Amino acid sequence: MADITSDTVVAVTGASSGIGEATARLLAARGASLVLGARRVARLERIADDLRARGADVITLEVDVTRREDLDRLVRAAVDRFGRLDVLVSNAGISKLGPLADGDVDGWSTMIDVNLRGVLNGIAAAMPVFGSQGRGHFVTTVSTAGLKIVPEMGVYAGTKNAVRTVMESLRQESTDGGIRTTSISPGFVRTELGDSIDDPAARAEIRSRMHEIGLAPEAVARAVAFAIEQPHDVEIGEIVIRPTVQG
């Protein structure tokens, strides 16, 4: 295993809650230097202040992953402060669930912009740095929704499967460049993802399932850390992590 130290620089998007926050806290506890991005800046800064009080080296930025320039700023901040970027954890995501017959074109577009375009923006921003370093690691939150297709989650699952496809292509393109890719597909996790669902009944159902069987976000954070901590010649390409009782 390769220990995480203060020389390990990790940027995390969607870091103000849920899996992103849990990942930031775990990696900070293991010694990483962090660059945290999210839209909710006040909340993000409270997390960073707590981590700094525990000895972590953390910087924060307001980041909307749908804007390429925000990802450029995130990567540039890592290089300016720490001299490098080792890992980009692309975690920001939203869900807009409902029957396709509802024709929620705006909701579909938002999911495409955040869940897919946000990942692509991160790849475009970090790849030049990883290439110049000769080393780097893309860790991306996908979803078990893309592995088991169910009604009313078609477009959400479609965005996640698009990301899975992009990550596999990136893996194959990077086999001689020292760049690793990891796709992590969580099942039900107790996060705020359900809050972005507009339909009240669907939102209540997802919240109920999360509360009933959902994993703690820290379980997914441990999976992220496991992938990062492997020796640089070892790539954990995919991790599926779900509650034992999830169908």
Burial class (CB in 10 A: 0-12, 13-18, 19+), 232: exposed
Which segments of the chain are extended strands (E)?
Answer: 9-13, 33-38, 58-62, 87-90, 136-141, 179-186, 238-241
Residue 194 has pLDDT above 70, yes or no: no
Residue 204 has pLDDT above 90, yes or no: no
Q: With bands split at pLDDT 50, 70 and 90, how would you rate the model's confidence at 4?
A: confident
Q: With bands split at pLDDT 50, 70 and 90, how would you rate the model's confidence at 5?
A: confident
Nearest Cα to Cα of residue 137 among 40, 9, 5: 9
How big is the CA angle at 200 (ends 194 and 203), to the nearest 5 degrees?
Answer: 20
Average model confidence (pLDDT) across the chain: 93
Contact 150, 205 (CB under 8 A): no
Q: CA-based diameter of the chain, in Å? A: 51
Give residue 1's pLDDT.
62
CATH class of 9-241: alpha beta
- Which among 82, 108, 130, 156 is annotated as catalytic? 156
Q: Rounded mean pLDDT of 159-186?
A: 96
Q: Is 156 labeled as catalytic in the residue annotation?
A: yes
Domain boundaries, the chain: 9-241
Contact 159, 175 (CB under 8 A): no
Q: With bands split at pLDDT 50, 70 and 90, how would you rate the model's confidence at 196?
A: low
- 7: which residues sit within 8 A by CB, 6+ positions away? 33
